[in-house]
């Protein structure tokens, strides 16, 4: 999914990426025209926070900042595609999932880790971002 860095997240962007999300597609968010943004060392973080606020259901997707004009980071797009494709097709062993479910209340109770932290650190991302398929 490509965003225009000078426009931020448009309503239409949200809708389209929402469809991909609902279909359980692996997504890479590419922010293009990064050359047009006046930057300091915090710009990328600020941009990322803003995007993640706008599209809260996409907290798992990688975001990459590129310029089609200067070719900045373009090769990284395909690396990211490979990465999410692999994550999206990852198979989670039943034992690992059971362990996680068993441990979750304790970890949350002791506040060692937030729900978000639990998700990102313990669950393979594929389980979250690619509608999980359970074999019973
Ligand atoms: N500076 C800069 N310009 C770019 C870049 N990528 C595309 N463009 C320019 O953007 C213009 C095309 O507009 P886009 O916004 O990409 O096209 P679009 O989103 O399909 O069309 P709109 O709906 O009108 O925005 C062309 O003049 C491109 O040269 C980039 O990375 N940096
Ligand atoms: Mg445009």
> How remote is the CA of residue 6 from the centroid of ligand 2, in Å?
9
Q: Which of 24, 22, 92 is nearest to 101 (CA)?
A: 92
C-alpha to C-alpha distance for 108 and 95, rounded to whole angstroms: 20
Q: How confident is the model at residue 124 (pLDDT cuts 50, 70, 90)?
A: low
Look at the chain and report how many structural domains it folds into.
2
Residues 34 and 80 in one domain: yes
> How remote is the CA of residue 125 from the centroid of ligand 1, in Å?
32
**Neighbour count for residue 64 (Cβ, 10 Å):** 16
pLDDT tens digits, one per residue of 46-92 = 999 999 999 988 888 999 999 999 999 999 999 999 999 998 888 88
C-alpha to C-alpha distance for 114 and 101, rounded to whole angstroms: 15
pTM for the full predicted model = 0.79
Task: Evaluate: CB of 4 within 6 angstroms of ligand 1.
Answer: yes
Structure tokens belonging to residue 21: 């999300």
Residues 9 and 72 in one domain: yes
11 found inside a domain: yes
Q: Which domain holds residue 32?
A: 2-88
Take atom 15 of ligand 1 and give the residue whose Cα is closest.
4
């Amino acid at each position: 999914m490509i965003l225009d860095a000078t426009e931020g997240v448009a309503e239409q962007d949200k809708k389209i990426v929402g469809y991909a999300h609902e279909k359980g597609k692996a997504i890479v968010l590419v922010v293009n025209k990064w050359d047009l943004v006046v930057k300091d060392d915090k710009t990328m973080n600020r941009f990322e926070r803003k995007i993640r606020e706008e599209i809260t259901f996409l907290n798992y997707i990688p975001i990459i900042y590129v310029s089609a004009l200067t070719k900045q980071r373009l090769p990284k797009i395909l690396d990211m595609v490979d990465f999410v494709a692999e994550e999206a097709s990852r198979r989670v062993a039943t034992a690992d999932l059971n362990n996680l479910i068993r441990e979750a209340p304790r970890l949350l109770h002791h506040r060692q880790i937030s729900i978000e932290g639990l998700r990102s650190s313990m669950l393979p991302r594929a389980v979250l971002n690619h509608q999980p398929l359970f074999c019973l």
